[in-house]
A and B are shown apart, each in its own frame.
Chain A
């Protein structure tokens, strides 16, 4: 049905601020794509350009093989679910869902059939005659989704649809959206969020943006396991990956880096001989670090300066001599370690990450 293809797409505001720089992206029909990134990275702007609410400054946008740069939103075959739901407050649930069909002058019977089908699917049938203000947040969200469904779009666009819900509802609605995708395998969905959990759980592929650039495109696990650069490594995962500045001491299939005068680590990552003695960054996720009894077993040693007990896990903030930032380790369960204690941390070699001085990842 609908591929979405962006070629050299740019967004430049009138005051010469470039908010999106040369975006190239190929979205296949039926994919669930999540745009994720910190606020101000341009992810919402990109979505709004696909929807037609923002002009495209340069480049082309194709939907279903057709260049749609100048086509109004309604004729692009898209539907959008807004962050604030954007329900029409003076219309009933039924009228909200029927609005786009009424504008398109669809016959009354068709409208009724469409609306009832969507309402049934989203368990909204009992609320059809209510005004949005008489609905709970989750129900409003479902109406917004229903409004998108009745249009039978080729592409669904979601703009942070869960950020106005409380934590419990967010999980439930997230699963509903996943189910919705399941029931409509042919429709393409593009979903914007700043929440990495939503991105990880929903996406077929994640597009991670930062400052107007695409940092990495890939499946959730690809991003987690093989971040392309320091930014991706730190953005995906919580607490964020520990990044420690280091120097490459020995290149080859096994690379040895020194973290400080006393400490060095060998990682199973291949480096070229030309990298010898260069500055680099060593990365390790907190959940991949574990406390071991002796210094010989571990790769890092330091003093515990802070402990956070979360119940299901314990976070240790370890001051490693020679490292500016504290190293965070996440152990499951509770620990009997005290503040000020000396600890030794270890990891398995395949969990190690290494980035060059441009913060780009070395290939394994």
Chain B
């Protein structure tokens, strides 16, 4: 109970402190540069000053936080990648030399590429299929809601759920993992799925596909509903069948949205870490970049230099998407 009370107190203080900043700073600004009951010239001057300052009062905390938590670390990671394990001694390119010479890196790079190909493709594919089909049936919304549900589950929670499905019992014991039970039911040999090199990657990917399909479905479903009915009706009149309508009329019209879904999931995949950590911790050839980086940060007291090098690789992979995003946002703003 005492813990609960102190937690509550900390929470309230944190939130109030934040609110107090905004109130206080704006109040102060209004007091310093009053715009009421003064001569016109003074009002004009004060107003100009206040209008110059106020955006930065509004933006201040956001800019500071973004700088400290995202912008500065990107720069500093770059710097650290040229330093030794403690970050004190300049070692030139030796971290990079080590990275490109290590088998572990190539393993995780290969695995990351597999993830990048399989997960966005599968999630977008299933999302599109489900979105199309659920739009036509009366219980579609319930179906969507259930398929969307894994979105709310943490990666680690999902890992437990799926670890349970992949559970393996040796010998003649009854299998309590669903997958092995099905295999046995059809007369197969039970397997310890997550220890089979190479293929185990796919068993881990299934977890992320399971989580992300709902996201793809929701967005694609909205896009599908945005397609003007007239275009579909026109295609029907032109004698197109269901599949032709889907591939030649509907899919091309939501191409932009598919690209957005795809890239969003791609970014997520690059950061995937929890699933691998919880399922295998990179054993049995399932290492990925994010987990490898985390590993180097803490392994044997941590090696900041090598961890930073892996981080830089992830960053480089993200940059094309970042540029594409900024371009898209700019085009959007000009459209306004």
Contact = CB atoms under 8 A, between A and B. Distances in A.
- Please determine if A and B sit in direct contact within the complex, based on CB atoms under 8 angstroms apart: yes
Interface of A: 66-72, 75
Contacts of A75: 35-36, 43
B47 interface: yes
B65 interface: no
Interface string B36-69: 1000100110011000000000000000000000
Contacts of A72: 35, 43, 47
Interface of B: 35-36, 40, 43-44, 47-48
Contacts of B43: 71-72, 75
A67 B44 CA distance: 11
Nearest to B41: A70
Contacts of A70: 44, 47-48
Contacts of B48: 70
A64 to B, nearest CB: 11
Contacts of B36: 75
A70 B44 CA distance: 5
B334 to A, nearest CB: 12
17 contacts: A66-B40, A67-B40, A68-B40, A69-B44, A70-B44, A70-B47, A70-B48, A71-B40, A71-B43, A71-B44, A71-B47, A72-B35, A72-B43, A72-B47, A75-B35, A75-B36, A75-B43
A175 B36 CA distance: 37
Contacts of A69: 44
A66 B43 CA distance: 13
A201 B35 CA distance: 40
Contacts of A66: 40
Given A69-B44, A71-B43, A71-B44, 14 more contacts: A66-B40, A67-B40, A68-B40, A70-B44, A70-B47, A70-B48, A71-B40, A71-B47, A72-B35, A72-B43, A72-B47, A75-B35, A75-B36, A75-B43
3 A-B pairs with the lowest CB-CB distances in the bound complex, closest first:
A70-B44, A72-B47, A71-B40
A69 B36 CA distance: 17
Contacts of A68: 40
Contacts of B35: 72, 75
B37 to A, nearest CB: 10
Contacts of B44: 69-71
B35 to A, nearest CB: 7
Contacts of A67: 40
A118 to B, nearest CB: 23
A31 B40 CA distance: 26
Contacts of B40: 66-68, 71
A72 B30 CA distance: 14
Nearest to B47: A72
B24 to A, nearest CB: 20
A358 B40 CA distance: 45
A272 B40 CA distance: 53
Nearest to B50: A72
Contacts of B47: 70-72
Nearest to B44: A70
Nearest to A104: B36
B176 to A, nearest CB: 55
Nearest to A69: B44
Nearest to A105: B36
B333 to A, nearest CB: 15
A69 B47 CA distance: 12
Nearest to B48: A70
A72 B48 CA distance: 10
Nearest to A75: B43
Nearest to B38: A75
Contacts of A71: 40, 43-44, 47
A75 B43 CA distance: 9
A69 to B, nearest CB: 8
A56 to B, nearest CB: 12
A70 B41 CA distance: 8
A105 to B, nearest CB: 9
A102 to B, nearest CB: 14
B197 to A, nearest CB: 60
Nearest to A70: B44
A66 B47 CA distance: 17
B336 to A, nearest CB: 16
A69 B43 CA distance: 12
A71 B44 CA distance: 6
Nearest to B37: A75
B83 to A, nearest CB: 45
Nearest to A67: B40
A258 B40 CA distance: 61
Nearest to A74: B35
Nearest to A72: B47
A85 to B, nearest CB: 22
A253 B143 CA distance: 87
A68 to B, nearest CB: 8
B125 to A, nearest CB: 41
B81 to A, nearest CB: 42
A87 B308 CA distance: 54
A71 B40 CA distance: 7
A68 B44 CA distance: 9
A70 B42 CA distance: 10
B252 to A, nearest CB: 35
A66 to B, nearest CB: 6
